[in-house]
């Protein structure tokens, strides 16, 4: 896929090479040794089906999904939000990691893509934890914020959509997620473009998203309302913990 005549940085990615690690062999080692042997069968089936989708490069990687599940279990999160579902790979990782009475409000304007993953979520026996809400993230989160009871009621949020608006999601989520809760942003290294010298040729989409992500990274680093940790997992993952 190209925009402005230059290939987008994620064009050639699928679940076997979605990493900024310099060595493909080392990444394969991590996947083969630690990640894929522990991947739930329904997640594996969904991942392989999604790899065949025309937008398959968008799905979260298996190591990132493992990280999300680990963070949810370690923090004891019960009430969670996901913005950007696509076919549901990270959503299924979340639902599997949640306790039996846990919930994930899952937001995406594209119901058709969600329907691809729904049978896998049902087969895994975790559909009762998923509350899919069709629409744009900012709108659906505003709806949640309209009810004061929702303020500080979420333990965990994962944002993987609509990159230019991450800064706005951050303000919404700092109200919805409780003090001590976790907010995770995906793609915070945007294919490595954030560190490229000014003027490096890139597609129009990459140029626009890279600027937005760099702005986000600068703001998050200066935000005293959160603890922050950025990992070079997949396309860059930033973990925030609400402090006040
Ligand atoms: C990178 S994909 C999400 C991948 C997903 N987390 C996974 O593991 O497969 C981005 C998704 O964001 C959705 N999206 C685009 N604009 C959005 C918006 N304004 N609000 C919520 N979701 C949006 C797209 O429809 C797409 O499904």
Report how far residue 209's alpha carbon sits from residue 39's, in angstroms, rounded to the nearest whole number: 31
Which residues on adjacent β-strands are paired with residue 228?
240
**91, 106, 108, 144, best to mutate for ligand 1 pocket (most atoms within 8 Å of CB):** 108
Span of 33-37, 83-87, 113-117, 196-200 with lowest mean pLDDT: 196-200
CA–centroid distance, residue 86 to ligand 1 (Å): 5
Report how far residue 153's alpha carbon sits from residue 80's, in angstroms, rounded to the nearest whole number: 9
Report how far residue 138's alpha carbon sits from residue 172's, in angstroms, rounded to the nearest whole number: 8
| CATH 3.40.50.150 corresponds to the domain 17-242 | yes
How do the domains of the chain map onto residue ranges?
17-242
Percent of the chain surpassing pLDDT 70: 100
Would you say the CB of residue 187 lies under 6 angstroms from ligand 1?
Answer: no
Do the Cβ atoms of 114 and 89 come closer than 8 Å?
no
Span of 21-30, 128-137, 155-164 with lowest mean pLDDT: 21-30
Mean pLDDT computed over every residue of the chain:
96
Span of 19-23, 69-73, 147-151, 238-242 with lowest mean pLDDT: 19-23
Report how far residue 66's alpha carbon sits from residue 130's, in angstroms, rounded to the nearest whole number: 18
pLDDT greater than 90 at residue 1: no
- Nearest-atom number in ligand 1 for the CA of 113 is 27
Phi/psi of residue 181, nearest 5 degrees: -80, 175
Q: Which among 121, 111, 67 is positioned nearest to 89, based on CA atoms?
A: 121
DSSP assignment of 16-71 equals: TT----S-HHHHHHHIIIIIGGGS-HHHHHHHHHHHTSTTGGGSPPHHHHHHHHHH
Number of residues in the chain: 244
User: How confident is the model at residue 15, as a pLDDT?
Assistant: 81
């Amino acid at each position: 896929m190209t925009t402005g005549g230059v290939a987008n940085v994620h064009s050639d990615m699928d679940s076997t090479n979605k990493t900024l690690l310099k060595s493909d062999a080392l990444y394969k080692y991590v996947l083969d040794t630690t990640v894929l042997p522990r991947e739930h069968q329904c997640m594996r089936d969904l991942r392989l089906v999604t790899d065949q989708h025309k937008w398959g490069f968008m799905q979260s990687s298996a190591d990132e999904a493992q990280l999300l599940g680990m963070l949810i279990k370690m923090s004891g999160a019960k009430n969670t939000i996901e913005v950007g579902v696509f076919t549901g790979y990270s959503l299924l990782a979340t639902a599997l990691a949640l306790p039996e009475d846990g919930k994930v409000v899952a937001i995406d304007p594209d119901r058709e893509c969600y329907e691809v993953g729904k049978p896998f979520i049902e087969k895994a026996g975790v559909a009762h934890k998923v509350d899919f809400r069709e629409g744009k993230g900012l709108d659906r989160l505003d709806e949640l914020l309209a009810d004061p009871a929702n303020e500080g009621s979420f333990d965990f949020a994962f944002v993987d959509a609509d990159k230019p608006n991450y800064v706005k999601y951050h303000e919404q989520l700092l109200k919805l997620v409780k003090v001590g809760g976790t907010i995770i942003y995906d793609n915070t290294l945007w294919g490595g473009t954030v560190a490229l010298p000014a003027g490096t040729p890139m597609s129009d989409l990459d140029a626009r998203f890279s600027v937005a992500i760099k702005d986000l990274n600068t703001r998050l680093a200066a935000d005293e309302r959160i603890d922050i940790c950025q990992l070079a997992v997949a396309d860059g993952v930033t973990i925030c913990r609400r402090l006040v």
